[in-house]
Amino acid sequence: MSDLDFTPDEMMAIAASRALTNTDVCFVGIGPPSAACNIARLTHAPDITLIYESGTIGTAPDVLPLSIGDGELCDTALTTVSVPEMFRYWLQGGKITVGFLGAAQIDRFANINTTVVGDYEHPTVRLPGGGGAPEIASSSQEIYITMKQSKRGFVEKIDFFTSFGHGEGGDHRARMGIASKGPTLLITDLAIWKPDPVTKELTVVSLHPRTTKERVQQTVSWAVRFSDDLQETPAPTEEELSVLRALKARTAAAQAGNKVETA
């Protein structure tokens, strides 16, 4: 284990970034997915193509965007296309290798809710909604998800199907006529999960440093499955932590209206 000090959130972002490669064309969600994708771009995958829902292609933001409409995305993109072209040609055309999403609620088959908590007509909380996430979940070649673990988020049954994961499990995606792989990876602040090859139930394959099986189970509302070959996630390196912290510092400075210094 590394002697470096790091937080669970830093471990989550860095572990998620490692899943991306130099050749990926990645449709990026705002928030934790955006942090992970840009860490990858700034470390081991400098040639990754990052695409945001507003139509920016090959963007290389110096700070993390507040939304898909953040001018930083357009300013640093190779090109910007219309939203219909983005979805019809790039996404539905099968050109996106990875769709990287966040979630408010997730169930054991990686179905995602970002719409409401509680009854749809009279919700306890009304969330931002799906945006392009339902189409990303269906049309990207595969889906990565990142979110923090809690019993409020990891639920037995999601309150609303915003983005279809593996449905009821097994071959449900295929029966629905969805040809893409769907969610293949879930990275949290405690562990790395992958769907079982047959049942598609999310299974913990790697625990982050300083995490236990008991801690994982305490933050999930269903009985967690652990891989027979359970691994420990490598701790962040000094370079990874430095890049992440510098990115967050530049972002905080920009949001505060201060001059941003490029690392």
**pLDDT value, residue 259:** 54
Catalytic residue among 10, 53, 135, 240: 53
Task: Answer yes or no: 53 catalytic.
Answer: yes
Sequence letter at residue 244: L
pLDDT tens figures, 13-60: 999 999 999 999 999 988 899 999 999 999 999 999 999 999 999 999
Whether the per-residue pLDDT at 66 is higher than 90: the answer is: no
pLDDT tens figures, 177-210: 999 999 999 999 999 999 999 999 999 999 999 9
Sequence letter at residue 167: G
What is the full DSSP assignment across the chain? ---S---HHHHHHHHHHHT--TT-EEEEPSSHHHHHHHHHHHTT-TT-EEE-TTSEES---SS--SSTT-HHHHHH-SEE--HHHIIIIIITTT--SEEEE--SEE-TT--EE-SEEE-SSSEEEE----TTHHHHHHHSSEEEEE----TTTB-SS-SS-SB-SSTTSTTHHHHTT--S--EEEEE-SSEEEEE-TTT--EEEEEEPTT--HHHHHHT-SS--EEEEEEEEPPPPPHHHHHHHHHHHHHHHHHHTTPPPPP-
pLDDT tens figures, 223-236: 999 999 999 999 99
- 170 CB-contact burial (10 Å; exposed 0-12 / middle 13-18 / buried 19+): middle
Query: Residue ranges per domain, the chain?
Result: 8-255
Whether the per-residue pLDDT at 258 is higher than 80: the answer is: no
8-255, what's its fold?
Glutaconate Coenzyme A-transferase (3.40.1080)
Among 136, 201, 144, residue whose Cα is nearest residue 16: 144
Q: Which residue has the tokens 């295929």?
A: 174
Bridge partners (DSSP) of residue 144 are 100, 185
**pLDDT value, residue 1:** 43
pTM for the structure as a whole: 0.93
* C-alpha distance from residue 230 to each of 45, 72, 184, 206, 216 (Å): 27, 40, 17, 5, 13
Mean pLDDT estimate for the chain: 94
Whether the per-residue pLDDT at 261 is higher than 70: the answer is: no
